[in-house]
A and B are shown apart, each in its own frame.
Chain A
């Protein structure tokens, strides 16, 4: 037997004997050493505050501190709060639609922009523009595009004798209007991630497929998608996590009026309102924990499912 097989045998026998020796101990050392700087920083600045938030969700706060333990009061309030139920529904609809839409469009665009075509830099930059445009500018432009009376979209529709709806002030439509803005705004980011992923697929595989007589569609579904799956997994997980937490878009477009707020407010919007407007930081912590559990469950489900469809090399 060769060296590699010998090593594997020794390693497995060592594990069976319950002692960490040699390779395993070296792995332990290097493993912890290399994650140490990151984990230390995360622990101090991020993970500890998460535990603090968990603790604070059982307390009641004054506007400037002075908290006292109130047990499950916040959670009882959570479960009986109708606005939270609404916000959860809005958040779910927004998340599912915006992530699905964004994934499809970004993947499509990234595939198109992964080839040496003319004007590649120009195209990539244009699709990246929403990501660098100032949020205030984005809000102003889309408010103009969506304006019920003077907006460009309704003007365009009127050319075809169609009466456009009130995109941002009709409670039945407003959520879908901003879902569109969210998809539009995320293409740039996801395009970068998919481009990076497409780059790491060795051209060897494509060449082999060509030799077998495969067409572009075949190549896409049999070569690209499986080898891109770690990236797709990453984009799906992070897009879902961040879509569940959508806030800025809602705040910018609907923060000043209550006309459609019931059908557009999201869980993090309620969190912000609770923490900084109502000065109820204990309840806000409860909302944060509630959302955290939901996202955690969704993510764990995805982590389990990844064994079925994600191909790691």
Chain B
């Protein structure tokens, strides 16, 4: 009898309890809330506001505040806010900082969104997806990407009677052409060979079959002979006097030299298209080609990601907004601005159309052999070592082999501390 009574009351009360839960969920869905969305690129503010407006239309109870912070201070501020427990709900992330944030539980994983089909990873280039994967989980949605190309000054090539770079070029062709284009009397060099990673040796190292960081992020690849040759590619150019010295390029950045017609070629990112378009010297004088082939083809790929704060007060809504930001609709809006290449597959044509005089398609072609930007838990620590040692290598104080070995030793120590 007692059991029956208990069972009856349970059956009666259960739906009540369930409906109460349901009522809570739906009423909290409709309470007006504000989400904070942090970005750092002032040029993209109109596009972000447009996306926010579009999202607010379909979610009338949500207001989006777009917060702009200058890039140089963005991560200092984000770190301070996260340490204090009040980071923005949705924010931009980049490669060098990603693992730090993901491994410390600051980012909310997207995997439920993937399983519930709100997000489909095959919509983005796989190299970007792996850039934002940590321990098998996905902590940011790719928003845009950039690859590296060989920008060149058509006027200087014409004056020297040399054919423009094309897909047949390999390292040798580049080195020879750089020599031909160097004209000390006029103060012109064939190419700029600065000590930079993303636009420089992070490409030539894999092009030669080397690697910067092992896939398991436990070992440095700098001591590998193939990697060392990837570094030597640049120091050879300086030794040939086809490139200014490091001291000269520190005084005057490669970009300034290129925009003044002092160097005929420079490796640069897809992001340079915007600046070269706005600069009336380069607007009609420069173009881009794919990077010359080493032993194989490779480009480093990097791009910003959309991340959600793990401790946000509104996880459901923040995730919804993030999903939207990673969607095709948002990518189309982004592409219209011409400021970056959207990551969503198939939305890149708007960007190419924004700069008709440049052969920007090459940047997209390079996706086929893209290598993710190398990152680990403490990227800044070993990148600092990398930069200090390579500065000496570029200045001829260390051979590339000795430098590579030194970097690998210190980098491995740093990586082992991360485990």
Q: List A residues at the B interface (Cβ < 8 Å).
A: 62-65, 143, 146-151, 166, 168-170, 257-259, 261, 273, 276-279
For residue A275, which residue of chain B has the nearest CB?
A: B76
Provide the residues of chain A in CB contact with B82, threshold 8 Å: 64
Q: How far is the CA of A63 from the CA of B75 in the complex (A)?
A: 11
Q: A170 → chain B, closest Cβ, in Å?
A: 8
Known: A277-B384, A278-B381, A279-B380. A149 touches B248 (CB 8 A): yes
Partner of A169, one of B195, B251, B380, B388: B251
Q: How far is the CA of A273 from the CA of B100 in the complex (A)?
A: 16
Provide the residues of chain B in CB contact with A169, threshold 8 Å: 247-248, 250-251
Provide the residues of chain A in CB contact with B93, threshold 8 Å: none
By the criterion CB–CB under 8 Å, are A63 and B251 in contact? no
By the criterion CB–CB under 8 Å, are B384 and A148 in contact? no
**Does B44 sit within 8 A of A, measured CB to CB?**
no
Q: How far is the CA of A279 from the CA of B82 in the complex (A)?
A: 13
B72-85 contact mask (Cβ, 8 Å, vs A): 1 or 0: 00011001001100
Q: B400 → chain A, closest Cβ, in Å?
A: 16
CB under 8 Å from chain A, chain B span 387-413: 387-388, 391, 395
Provide the residues of chain B in CB contact with A147, threshold 8 Å: 251-252
Q: How far is the CA of A64 from the CA of B97 in the complex (A)?
A: 13
Partner of B252, one of A65, A149, A258, A259: A149
Partner of B76, one of A150, A168, A261, A276: A276
Q: How far is the CA of A166 from the CA of B247 in the complex (A)?
A: 8
**Listed A/B pairs (22) with beta-carbon separation below 8 Å:** A64-B79, A64-B83, A143-B251, A146-B251, A148-B247, A148-B251, A149-B248, A166-B247, A168-B251, A169-B247, A169-B250, A169-B251, A257-B195, A257-B250, A258-B388, A259-B250, A259-B391, A261-B388, A273-B384, A277-B380, A278-B380, A278-B381
Provide the residues of chain A in CB contact with B106, threshold 8 Å: 64
**Does B378 sit within 8 A of A, measured CB to CB?**
yes
Q: How large is the interface on B (under 10, 10 to 19, 20 to 34, 35 or more residues)?
A: 20 to 34
Summarize A's interface: helix, strand, loop or mixed: loop
For residue A281, which residue of chain B has the nearest CB?
A: B83
By the criterion CB–CB under 8 Å, are A65 and B83 in contact? yes
Q: How far is the CA of A257 from the CA of B250 in the complex (A)?
A: 7
By the criterion CB–CB under 8 Å, are B83 and A150 in contact? no
Q: Which of B247, B252, B388 has the most CB of A within 10 A?
A: B247
Provide the residues of chain A in CB contact with B251, threshold 8 Å: 143, 146-149, 151, 166, 168-169
Q: How far is the CA of A136 from the CA of B316 in the complex (A)?
A: 42
